[in-house]
Structure 1
Amino acid sequence: MTAECPMCKKVFNVDVIEVHASDCGLRSDDILNWISGQVEETNTFSICVSRTDLFTRGMQQWQRQKKTSPKCRLRVTFFGEAGIDTGALSKEFLKEMLAEIERKLFVCSADKKGKNPLYCLNSLDQNYFRSAGEIMAASLAQGGPPPAFMREWCFRYLCSGDSDSIQVSATDVTDRELSLLIETISSATDDELGEHTDEILNCGYTGRVSVEKKDHIIRAVILQSTMRVVPVLDQLRKGLLLYDLLKIMNLYPELCLPLFVPGDDDKVDAAFILEKCHPDFSEKGSLKYSKEINIMNLFQDFLQELEDQGMF
């Protein structure tokens, strides 16, 4: 059996095409160019939507459009606004919808290394995640921003669809309650663990609840937090079938990674500057120490004021 590389169009044996893919010499821009070439220009996928409650109305209009495929060129009209979409309105719609998808359907963590899908059966039932996947694909194909806000393990699963290959740790838990439970378990004694037996058992752990089993208990909580959103990711994968994007992600995961997973945040802002400050304070409790703390507080307020004014 053979398969054609969708980028260089050469034909390879299926046993070696993955090896070829890792050495094809392509870049993320080439991926975007190829996806853009899959847009059907003969018809348009028309969306007429209000900016009020854009997420819900945008999702509904996206799903109700039955005349053409979302693979066609997107054309957007906003209620109450004049103008013909020559590309700018559709890009604006994709940008705002992706921001709403990130805010409504994903949950962030403290380390700012990407977000997990929100465990929401209502959104799953309404096929919001499938539509979200289609909008992500359309954004990549039609000049919108990339959905670079997911955690890496989510991206890896989207590429392969193989839950056995998922590698997660405590830092990948974005559910607030489960994060607090992990912190509690990490420092708990036997008696303290006993107070959380019901919560632990609800996470699917079936062993003995004791300090000696902490690692196994924490692992169960981690898996409860991440594996329960696998059906959500499966629905998202269906949306990413648009433009054969899922096929490209499977063949070229490293090239597609920056399109879905945020990189290192090296933006200079108030938090960045304060993080780099390492003041050498006087003895705690002394008059000098109090003055130095006040100076740092004023400095923090000054930096925050600059940031609020858009100076960074």
Structure 2
Amino acid sequence: MQQWQRQKKSSPKGRLKVTFFGEAGVDTGALSKEFLTEMIAEIETRLFIAGVDKKGKNPVYCLNSLDRNYFRSAGEIMAVSLAQGGPPPFFLREWCFQYLCSGDYDSIQVTTSDVTDLEFSLLIEKVNSTDDMSELTDEILSCGYTGKLSADMKSNIIRAIVLHSSMRVVPMLNQLRKGLQLYDLQKVMEMHPDLCLPLFVPREKDDRVDAGFILENCHPVFSDKGSVKYTKEVNVMNFFQDFLQEVEDRGMYYHNSTTYLLE
């Protein structure tokens, strides 16, 4: 990141040309793509942190990186990568992307799943698992909560922790937005958020309708345990599961209620 800042003598909007020390050759595009690929990977690893659900990352709360304008440089590199054939930075949580588009925190919806900082994740677990908040008083108050510390206020306490966890990384996102202003990318994101979303937010898992999908969405209502009907119903579900697995193993899959045989 420091090298990027030092070498940026002219506008970063110019065509990126890369020379690796100890390697001969003229950059015709391949070296630039290699450089951008490595930079995007390093940005993801060093400046962002993932949650348990693996649905994207939040900025790391690091005032040193903020003070050194690393997040702004990261935004510039992301913009250059998208404009000049590098990889997209699709590792952000959706709420971070929405904030980058609008700059309006009030319109952003964050939940407990958006808390990626281990300290606050553990604090939420502690609050959920106890009715005695006395041992957690200092930690809760440090998150900006000023209400009553009692079991019946758990939802409010957890909400305060979630907001504190996300609000404290807003300065990092603001700096990132400044970097994304290259090529007017930030304006494009604001005007076309749906089109830009796949470039910044991880794609959902394969939504193909397979055996696992069907079984996960089956919610059978069985008869009373121990009854003859219950035994028959369980056997039917077991046979159904075996059938679906056999069909899948034979190279077939399901889509829109139609079965296709793969060649």
TM-score, length-scaled by structure 1:
0.66
Q: How far is the alpha carbon of 1:66 from its aligned partner?
A: 4.3
CA distance in 1, matches of 2:26, 2:99: 39
Equivalent position amino acid for 2:145 in 1: Y
Equivalent runs, 1:46-195 vs 2, <5 Å: 59-189=1-131, 191=132, 193-195=133-135
Q: How far is the alpha carbon of 1:266 from its aligned partner?
A: 3.4
Equivalent position amino acid for 2:91 in 1: F
CA-to-partner distance for each residue in 1:182-227, whole Å, 9 max, x for gaps? 01111211x3x11100000000000110001101000000011101
CA distance in 1, matches of 2:154, 2:70: 37
3-state DSSP of counterpart to 2:56: coil
1:239 to 159, 165, 179: 179
CA distance in 2, matches of 1:226, 1:122: 18
Equivalent position amino acid for 1:126 in 2: R
User: Runs of 5+ in structure 1 lacking a partner?
Assistant: 1-58, 277-312
Matching of residue 212 in structure 1 with residue 145 in structure 2: no
What residue in structure 2 maps to residue 36 of structure 1? Answer: none
What residue in structure 2 maps to residue 265 of structure 1? Answer: 205
TM-score, length-scaled by structure 2:
0.78
Q: Cα RMSD between the aligned structures?
A: 1.9
3-state DSSP of counterpart to 1:68: coil
Matching of residue 203 in structure 1 with residue 143 in structure 2: yes
User: Runs of 5+ in structure 2 lacking a partner?
Assistant: 217-263
Q: After the TM superposition, which parts of structure 1 deviate over 3 Å for at least 4 consecutive aligned residues?
A: none
CA-to-partner distance for each residue in 1:122-181, whole Å, 9 max, x for gaps? 000000000000000000000001000000000000000011111100000000010011
3-state DSSP of counterpart to 2:95: helix
CA distance in 1, matches of 2:192, 2:97: 12
Q: What is the count of residue pairs matched by the alignment?
A: 212
Q: How far is the alpha carbon of 1:65 from its aligned partner?
A: 2.5
3-state DSSP of counterpart to 2:147: coil
What residue in structure 1 maps to residue 168 of structure 2? Answer: 228
